[in-house]
Copies of this chain bind each other. A is one copy, B any other.
Amino acid sequence: MTTETVRRTADERREEILDAAFEAFAQSGFVGTSTEAIADAVGISQPYLFRLFGTKKQLFLAAVERCLEQTHEVLEAGLAAQEPGADPMIAMGEAYRVAIERPGLLRMQMQAYVACDDPDVRAVVRDGYGRLVMRIAAATGASPQEIAGFVASGMLLNVLAAMDVLESDLPWAALLREGCIGGP
């Protein structure tokens, strides 16, 4: 048998674990996901996961931070791609169409929000989300109504992803989706 054990550096392992944890937490949430399931997905033993991350909560917090970072990146990419002089609000709306391609990211956002019952999670989420909002405000100079409307659209997309109706042809789902990101 050639089940040769692929040995990796601790940093590489941490990266793999974080990837697996992200998907698992996005699907089943913090309490609903077992560390064993994550370890299995990576292909390592569960004790090793604990050595590399210390605690289930620390791993979750790392996933939350990554989630906020990636959201930020999606936004920045939208801004960077815009025509000079165009309305930045439209550029960021375009960014949503990109985000939709990653339901895992949207679901992870939801999981981060509901996990805000925990103070440590809450601190990270508030901080990260606050930065996102301020970045939008600074980039667009839009009114509170416009900004809130934009952010709210993102939240609606998150919820549609959680309900798994982003691709659905249920009439109400199609209506919301198209009302949210524009026609087909």
- A77 part of interface (Cβ distance < 8 Å): no
Contact between chains at B117 and A32 (CB < 8 Å): yes
Roughly how many angstroms separate A52 CA and B135 CA in the complex, as a whole number? 51
Q: Are B122 and A179 in contact (CB under 8 A)?
A: no
Chain A positions 157 through 173: 1 when the CB is less than 8 Å from some CB of chain B, otherwise 0: 01100111100001111
Residues of B within 8 A of A152 (CB): 149, 152-153, 155-156, 180
Bound CA–CA A110/B155 (angstroms)? 11
Choice from B134, B153, B173, B176 contacting A172 with Cβ under 8 Å: B134
What is the chain B residue whose CB lies nearest that of A107? B114
- Interface stretch among A41-49, A61-69, A138-146? A138-146
Shortest beta-carbon distance, A126 to chain B, in Å?
6
Residues on B with beta carbons closer than 8 Å to the beta carbon of A74: none
Docked Cα-Cα span, A133 to B178, in Å, equals 14
| A interface residue count range (under 10 / 10 to 19 / 20 to 34 / 35 or more) | 35 or more
Complex contact A147–B176 (CB within 8 A): yes
Complex: chain B residue closest to A111, CB-CB = B114
Q: Is A113 an interface residue (CB 8 A)?
A: yes
B-side contacts of A137, CB under 8 Å: 172, 175
Query: Closest approach, in angstroms, between the C-beta of A130 and any C-beta of chain B?
Result: 4
Q: Does A81 contact B (CB under 8 A)?
A: no
CB pair B114–A145 under 8 Å, yes or no, is no
Instruction: Point out the residue from B30, B114, B177, B179 that lies within 8 Å of A149, measured CB to CB.
Output: B179
- A31: B residues at CB distance < 8 A: 29, 31-32
Q: Does A116 contact B (CB under 8 A)?
A: yes
Question: Interface of A with B (CB < 8 Å)?
Answer: 27-32, 107, 110-111, 113-114, 116-117, 122, 125-126, 129-130, 133-134, 137, 143-149, 151-153, 155-156, 158-159, 162-165, 170-173, 175-180
